[in-house]
C-alpha cells in the first residue's frame, strides 16, 4: 500500500513534451548546432556574394540602377536570414518531438521496472502509435507476461499444497512449514493482485500511451 501511495505522488511527466531534459536537450542541441553551422556557412557565402555585387554595381552601373540592384540584393540577404532563423526554430521543435518519442517509452519502462523492483507485476499498456523503441518495449512486456503467468502458476501450486497438507499438520514442525508456505502464497498473491487492484498509479503513468 505504501509503495502504491509513493508511486501516485510521482508526477506524470508523460503528458509533457520534456520528459528527460538531459537526453532531449543533448540531441536537440546537436540538431540545432548542425543546422546553425550549415546556415552560417550558407549565409557567409551569400553575404560575400552580396558584397561582390555591391562592389560591381558601384563600378559598372549608374546611380539609379545601382540603388535598385543593391536594394534587391539586400532584400535577398534579409530573406536568407529570416529563412535560416525559421528553419532553426522548426528543427528545434522537431528535435523535441523526435526525442520525446524516444524518451517517453524509456520513462514508461523505467516506471514498470520500478514496479517490478517493488515485488509487484505491472499491467503494461501499449505505447502510443508514433513512439519508438517498440521492439524493446514488446520484449519487456513479453517478460512481464511470462513472469505474471509463472507467479500465477506457482500461487496455484502453493494453494493446492496448503489445502492438501493443512488437515494433517498436527505437529509444530508441520505448522511452521505450513506458515512458511502460506507466507510465500501471500506474497505471490500480492504480486499478482497488484496488476489488477493494487497498481492504479503505475497504470496511470502510461495513460497517454494507450
Q: What integer pLDDT is reported at residue 4 of this predicted model?
A: 43
* pLDDT tens readout for residues 117-171: 888 888 888 888 888 899 999 999 999 999 999 999 998 998 888 888 888 777 8
Q: What integer pLDDT is reported at residue 84 of this predicted model?
A: 79
Query: Which residues have CB under 8 Å from 104's CB, separation 6+?
Result: 14, 19, 127, 128, 131, 209
CB 114 within 8 A of CB 50: no
Q: What integer pLDDT is reported at residue 204 of this predicted model?
A: 39
What's the whole-model pTM score?
A: 0.60
DSSP 8-class letter at 16: S
Residues 33-49, mean pLDDT to the nearest whole number:
80
* pLDDT tens readout for residues 61-99: 677 776 777 777 778 778 878 887 888 788 888 888 888
Residues 25-51, mean pLDDT to the nearest whole number:
79
Measured distance CA(102)–CA(105) in Å, rounded: 6
Domain assignments of the chain as residue spans, ordered by start: 2-209
Residues 31-45, mean pLDDT to the nearest whole number:
80
Q: What integer pLDDT is reported at residue 7 of this predicted model?
A: 41
The three three-digit cell numbers of residue 65, written as one number: 540602377
Measured distance CA(203)–CA(191) in Å, rounded: 15
Q: What's the CA angle centered on 38, arms 32 and 40, to 5 degrees?
A: 95
CB 188 within 8 A of CB 151: yes
Kindly tell me if the per-residue pLDDT of 11 is higher than 60.
Answer: no
Helical H segments across the chain, by residue range: 2-9, 21-60, 63-117, 134-165, 172-193, 200-204
Amino acid at each position: 500500500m505504501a509503495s502504491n501511495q509513493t508511486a501516485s505522488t510521482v508526477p506524470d511527466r508523460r503528458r509533457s513534451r520534456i520528459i528527460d531534459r538531459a537526453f532531449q536537450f543533448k540531441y536537440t542541441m546537436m540538431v540545432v548546432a548542425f543546422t546553425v553551422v550549415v546556415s552560417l556557412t550558407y549565409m557567409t557565402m551569400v553575404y560575400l556574394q552580396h558584397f561582390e555585387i555591391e562592389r560591381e554595381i558601384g563600378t559598372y552601373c549608374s546611380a539609379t540602377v545601382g540603388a535598385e540592384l543593391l536594394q534587391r540584393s539586400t532584400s535577398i540577404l534579409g530573406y536568407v536570414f529570416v529563412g535560416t532563423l525559421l528553419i532553426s526554430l522548426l528543427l528545434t521543435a522537431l528535435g523535441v518531438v523526435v526525442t520525446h518519442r524516444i524518451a517517453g517509452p524509456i520513462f514508461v519502462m523505467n516506471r514498470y521496472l520500478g514496479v517490478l523492483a517493488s515485488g509487484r507485476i505491472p499491467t503494461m499498456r501499449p505505447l502510443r502509435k508514433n513512439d519508438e523503441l517498440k521492439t524493446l518495449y514488446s520484449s519487456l512486456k513479453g517478460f512481464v507476461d511470462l513472469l505474471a503467468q509463472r507467479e500465477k502458476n506457482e500461487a496455484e501450486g502453493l494453494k493446492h499444497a496448503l489445502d492438501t497438507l493443512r488437515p494433517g499438520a498436527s505437529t509444530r514442525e508441520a505448522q511452521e512449514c505450513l506458515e512458511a508456505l502460506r507466507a510465500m502464497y501471500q506474497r505471490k498473491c500480492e504480486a499478482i493482485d497488484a496488476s489488477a487492484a493494487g497498481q492504479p498509479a503505475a497504470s496511470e503513468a502510461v495513460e497517454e500511451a494507450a
